[in-house]
Structure 1
């Protein structure tokens, strides 16, 4: 027989105790809430102390629950990160193996180059610095581009010596006095610098335009394609400029003749470094004719 739907808890002592405890808890909570409300209204400092006491008790529990919640919610992300790190680690290992092969190839080429140089008895030369001098003047308003250094023959400066800054080549010395030197900038239309492209060694000629930019011309018979961002450095051909000094970077794509921006601007430099000619016995550098008045 099914029990009646509206049964009173009097038949079970456990149900009676549970109902009594719930009533006591509800009444006690209401009394505590009323006391706290009165305390916060009439005695705020005492309420602040009570609130701080309960905060000290509740804060560790809340922190533990928050740590647990974050740990549980971070499990899927951790699993995804684990597999992501494994795939990235595999990709990096493959990249390291490819780079190792390139490094081994470069080492083999270097050793072969050293051996061939020893067989041919080639003699390398390093362009030693002569003096570091201040750029006291540079022409920027005319088509002829010169600069003046506050160092001359008394400091060891000679005609034809290259002048460079921290970012690249500036020019070469064309006139020398006891304490000053006149520098023909690579931006001058009379300046010609043998260069090569960094990415493939393409030989070219960098000539000044007189307007703060350079022209890069291909030195080979075949048509050359210049891409934006191509960097050019000195090639060492001619024996004046040491190799591997930064000269300019191509501004936009072109064929055979490209516009380039110099990497070293004399207008923004305070000091410059005068170096020895790469191969002084290769030839003498003749100073350009004076500009017309």
Structure 2
């Protein structure tokens, strides 16, 4: 048989206790409210003390609940901010990389323009300049050291002409075509340049080693001391290289033969200046008809 649909509370002890506690709570709440109302009306200081007491009890709980609420409410914003910050950082990194590339390119162009201005100024000051040309290639790893200029016979470049940069001597032309020239660098093992020391005029020879450096040794004396930092320039001996062009700087102290570095590094150059030889080659002697040399006129 099914139980009746509406059962009175008296049939359940738990329901009776719940109903009783509900009545007690309601009556107690009404009494507390009445007491607080009477205190607020007839004794405000006492009411303020009671209110402060309950505030002290409820404030920590309210603070904790507010902190938890703010934490949960801030989760979506924190997640969104995280992804926004990550995207912004990626954008800034790309922008910094782009700016770094532009800065490096600007520095390279600035250095190239500075060297070109120096070279053009040198060309204006030099009466024996032939043409300013670009170094289009070089051989930095081979024992034979050559470079190629984008100027040739059409630009009046000829075999044997010296080639220099603003910082010093580079080499000499050994082959030419219409628009290109091949240059034997001073660091080549087959290159030898007459030089002199700037501080005392000591004559010497700067010979290439094939490894990007030079050996400098005295041309006439033995037991000559070389000091680190000694500067050697072309002496003009031989009539090929004009004098006073920087050639080498001694790298470390030595007695007879010293290791030196070139004043101008061709591996880091963009432009070069082709010069006329210091002295013109003497005209060839033409023999007289019949194969005999012309005789001097009698005095």
- What is the TM-score of this pair, normalised by structure 2? 0.52
Identify the residue that residue 215 of structure 1 maps to in structure 2: 215
CA distance in 2, matches of 1:177, 1:264: 25
Question: Secondary structure of 2:281's match?
Answer: helix
CA distance in 1, matches of 2:198, 2:205: 14
Identify the residue that residue 271 of structure 1 maps to in structure 2: 271
Matched-pair contact (CA < 8 Å) for 1:239–1:283? no
CA distance in 1, matches of 2:264, 2:270: 12
CA distance in 1, matches of 2:262, 2:250: 9
Q: Does 1:238 align with 2:238?
A: yes
Would you identify which runs of 4 or more consecutive aligned residues in structure 1 move more than 2 Å? none
Q: Report the CA distance between 1:132 and its aligned residue.
A: 0.2
Question: Secondary structure of 1:201's match?
Answer: coil
Moved more, 267-276 or 221-230: 221-230
Q: Report the CA distance between 1:221 and its aligned residue.
A: 3.1
CA distance in 2, matches of 1:283, 1:210: 34
Matched-pair contact (CA < 8 Å) for 1:127–1:278? no
Identify the residue that residue 134 of structure 2 maps to in structure 1: 134
Q: Report the CA distance between 1:280 and its aligned residue.
A: 1.9
Identify the residue that residue 197 of structure 1 maps to in structure 2: 197
Question: Secondary structure of 1:272's match?
Answer: strand
Q: Report the CA distance between 1:133 and its aligned residue.
A: 0.3
CA distance in 2, matches of 1:239, 1:223: 27
Unaligned runs of 5+ in 2: 1-125, 285-299
Q: Does 1:247 align with 2:250?
A: no
CA distance in 1, matches of 2:241, 2:213: 19
Identify the residue that residue 154 of structure 2 maps to in structure 1: 154
Matches within 5 A, 1:45-84: none
Question: Secondary structure of 1:280's match?
Answer: coil
Question: Secondary structure of 1:249's match?
Answer: strand
Q: Structure 1 residues 155, 246: CA separation in 2 closer, same or farther (over 3 Å shift)?
A: same
Q: Report the CA distance between 1:282 and its aligned residue.
A: 5.6
CA distance in 2, matches of 1:256, 1:277: 30
Matched-pair contact (CA < 8 Å) for 1:127–1:276? no
Identify the residue that residue 182 of structure 1 maps to in structure 2: 182
CA distance in 2, matches of 1:218, 1:137: 32
CA distance in 2, matches of 1:258, 1:237: 20
Matched-pair contact (CA < 8 Å) for 1:149–1:183? yes
Unaligned runs of 5+ in 1: 1-125, 285-293
The number of aligned residues is: 159
